[in-house]
Amino acid sequence: MEKVAFLFCVHNHQPVGNFLHILEYAYEKAYLPFIEVLKKYPFMKISIHYTGILWDFFKDHHPEFLETLKGLVKKGQLEMMTGGYYEPILAVIPDADKVGQIRRLTQKIKEEMGVTPQGMWLAERVWEPHLPKYLKEAGVEYVTIDDYHFKKSGLREEDLFGYYLTEEEGKVLKVFPGNETLRYIIPFHPPEETLEFLSRLRGSSKAAIFADDGEKFGIWPYTYHSVYEEGWLERFFQLIGENLDWIEPMPLGTYAHCRKPLGRVYLACSSYMEMDEWSLPTEAMVEYGKVIEPLKDSAEGKQIRMFLKGGFWRNFFAKYPESNDLHKRTLHLREKIGNQKRRVVPDREDPLLYLHRAQCNDAYWHGVFGGLYLPHLRHALYENLIRAERLYDQKAHREKEWIEVERLDFNGDGDEEVLLKNPEIVLLFSSRGGSLLEMDDRGKAFNILGTLTRRKEGYHQKLLHERGQGSRDEASTAKTKTIHEIFDSKEEGLDQYLQFDAYRKTSFLDHFIPEPMDFESFRKGPYPGEGDFIEESYEIEIRGERKHPEVFFFRSGGLARIGKRDPIRIEKSFTIPANQKIVKASYQISYQGERRKTNFGIELNINLLAGDAPDRYYQIPGHPLEDQRLASAGEIKEVTEAHLVDEWNKMEVVLKTDQRCTLWRFPIETVSLSESGFERIYQGSCLLLSWPLELEPGKQFGFEIELGIQHL
């Protein structure tokens, strides 16, 4: 009697920029103990994938672990899988980088393990139909995704116990459907349930396919206790060993080599089920949840769900403009770098090395996983992008002093942008609001304006629902839950931080604020100002000489008055001195309406990554602060200068104005959901400089502001 093939595939990944102590924790709680248990059961032959970030970590910090892996590869217990080196979403990076990133990881595995992998893990299982062509070019023979992808193409669950063939331009690829049931019960339900599932396949030639994250074996909430301390994994492998008369554990590659395909399939654009849900706009995500939830427990629900699909991964670029800007910045630079012949492994002077790191997927999206809401992960991608661009510009510009300006809609949002840079800084302006989106210190590889806007997310309703229910013993109830079912809160009263912005939190945003000015209302947002300049487009002109360009914005708008609007015009220009980390802004305001009073404010949003760290703080000359934290809030009058000091990175941001102003400061904090529950995250500091204006027909006002970066 033919045995049931059990294909067990584990994927392991940590994002570019994750803290070293997090990687060490993952190693100690998941990566090492999993392999230590596996070693005891030589009949367990599995497929395993580590991203390039982890290969580098093991090489630098745990070379003994690589020796252990190599021994298991030689014994035939481990089949190594390749993928994009820095775990990019392959579908949304240039084709040359698809192939280049895969070949680089394949080369690393060949060097360390002595084998050339044939199979590949697809990051976040984001599938698009053009991929087979490039995966085959990179040397990939098969890939594993979810059975969800196949069901959306009309296949039934009973048809998904093997692999299928697909192709693009005749380039044929083998695709394995990972089983949804196994993904949800391993390792959250007793191991006997998996054996019971496998027993349903006895007497057939079917293959049971498990393919999921290795982190669920130790670092997902409560899993270290259940998987290792309570012995789930040991018991699971023991049960497999007791039933080898009808179960045959084998790697995916072995099965692909010795068994025939189940047929041909063409898969629609998709990821796993939860990711498709998360990529929807917030309102649609809520409505989608209302449709899906009742189906999970209904008799006909499984059949109906086959034909229901959420969104599409690329929609994250529409949902989060911060993600889109970063992605399009990498594409813009990649186009400049070009595709000249390179080594498989770029050297440290090749900008492509850092650009590949900036393609790491985690900070481009958000769900339960996904690091868009984690400032240190966004910073890591900008850090690598800035390093790549600096290396490119060093080769492109031979002179010591230069200033370059580009005008284009680089991010495809319908508004023009301007890139202004010298050897020390890069500025990215948008015509929308005449605002500054990005300011990069090239020496520190740091974008000081990387603030995330406070947005309403679909899961915020769960937080409001949980309010007032009291504390619960989550440790006793959550250990059998998957990560998609845990909604703990890391602190009490998080619902009070559910404050949302009416506009994107960029810099040099122009406000007209009526009397009396209300600090708390402005802080909590959205705030009904009198002007119409925040979200409207400004006209752009590039003035001055080539070596001394000036980015000039202007817009004629209005101030709200009962029954009409008073005409007012803002002109503002930005310049950067050669070889300095300073942007100088010059404002001119012209008014033609009836006599009235208002307050003019300029908003900036600055993120030095830590709001409560003692080595990051405010200094306001002439105004000693009781609370200097970047997460502090308050009003200070008669200010001409403000410093945001970052001792950790040995830099400070300096803001100066030529006229005394009132300074409001407060933290931008979001409430987001992560694998361990709801948490409050500091996303940056908002600063509003304001001046009272006595408006009369024909009257003009001028302001000079300077934003700079100094190294300590």
Structure-token pair, residue 409? 């809609």
Asked whether 419 and 436 are in contact (CB, 8 A), the reply is: no
Locus of tokens 């044939």 = 118
Residue 330 near residue 87 (C-beta atoms within 8 A): no
Q: Which residues pair with 607 in a beta bridge?
A: none
Closest CA to 46 of 229, 248, 238: 248
Full 3-state SS string of 342-377: CCCCCCCCCHHHHHHHCCECHHHCCCCCCCCCCHHH
d(CA 332, CA 352): 13
Q: Which residues is 146 bridged to in the sheet?
A: 178
Distance, in Å, from the CA atom of 256 to the CA atom of 119, rounded to the nearest integer, reads 10
Residue 164 near residue 150, CB atoms below 8 Å: yes
Q: Using CA atoms, how far apart are residues 524 and 497, in angstroms rounded to an integer?
A: 9
List, in order, residues 6 or more apart from 566 with CB less than 8 Å away.
Answer: 558, 559, 591, 592, 593, 594, 596, 695
Q: What distances in angstroms separate CA 295 from CA 45, 160, 299, one per listed residue? A: 36, 21, 8
Alpha-carbon gap, residue 88 to 95, rounded angstroms: 12
Taking alpha carbons only, the member of 356, 279, 363 closest to residue 323 is 363
* Cα 128 to the center of its chain, rounded Å: 20
**Residue in 137, 141, 159, 213 annotated catalytic:** 213
Residue 64 burial by CB count (10 A; 0-12/13-18/19+): exposed, middle or buried? Answer: exposed
Structure tokens at 432: 């929308």
Any catalytic annotation for residue 213?
Answer: yes
552's tokens:
């000039």
What are the b/e assignments for 383-394, b being 16+ CB within 10 Å? bbbbbbbbbbbe
Contact 568, 590 (CB under 8 A): yes
Only one residue has tokens 């050339």, namely 116
Question: Which one-letter amino acid corresponds to residue 112?
Answer: E
Relative orientation angle of helices 321-337 and 375-396, to the nearest 10 degrees: 30
Residue linked to tokens 């100094």: 710
CA–CA separation, 418 and 551 (whole Å): 8
Ramachandran quadrant class, 579 (left: phi over 0; alpha: psi -120 to 50; beta: rest): left
Q: Residues 87, 124, 277, 603: which is the catalytic one?
A: 124
Phi, then psi, of 217 in degrees rounded to 5: -100, 60
* Per-residue exposure over 196-206, b if at least 16 CB sit within 10 Å of its own CB, e if not: ebbeebeeeeb
Q: How far is CA 417 from the centre of its chain?
A: 23
Structure tokens at 505: 């939190």
Q: Which residues of 424-460 are buried (b: 16+ CB within 10 A; e: fewer)?
A: bbbbbbbbbbbbbbbbbbbebbbbbbbbbbbbebbbb
Active site residues: 124, 213
